[in-house]
Amino acid sequence: MRKALMIVAIIAALLLAAYCYLKANPPLTAGASSSTSDRKVMLVSIGNKGSIGSIEIIKVLINKSAVPDFVKIQVSDHTKGFIASDQMDARQFGTYTFKGLHEVSLPTGTDPQGQIDKMKDRKATAADKIYALTITDELTIETVTIRYRYLGLTYETTISTDRLKL
């Protein structure tokens, strides 16, 4: 009986430690990459620095609580890059791939900084996918809040677009 309680206590402690570690080290990396001059179209590079599971984007909000008019995930590669355009035709008919939030999960190894390092080392290939959120609204976008799920836990990350001010 004592041995069984000891095993249960150790397992509970390990689960608690894993939960605390995951909450303290969110896997999503995100940063405002580009925008139009009026900041009504925003491009946010995203990726997964986690090592064991994919990330599912649940919701994207702007300016603390507003739902943007348009939000999609661009899926691209290093040779093509991304597009930040306020022209709907460029987004709908161009060679760029836009997917709904629930259509894409970010696999491990897609951290934007890791991708940049691969490019510097000349190890990047067209098979290496890169991801960005394209967000459009009538309002100037000051902040972007991303809610996402990783290993069953829900996270929220807010980034400022201040560094993109002209």
Residue 85: what pLDDT? 65
pLDDT of residue 126: 67
Predicted TM-score (pTM) of the model is 0.82
| CA proximity to 106, closest of 137, 76, 140, 130 | 130
Run of H or E including 118 = helix 112-120
CA 123/CA 116 separation, integer angstroms = 10
Predicted pLDDT at 39: 82
Per-residue pLDDT of 13-42, as tens digits, reads: 898 888 888 778 888 888 888 877 788 888
pLDDT of residue 41: 87
pLDDT at 60: 95
Q: What pLDDT, in 10s, does the model give residues 127-153?
A: 778 899 999 999 889 999 999 999 888
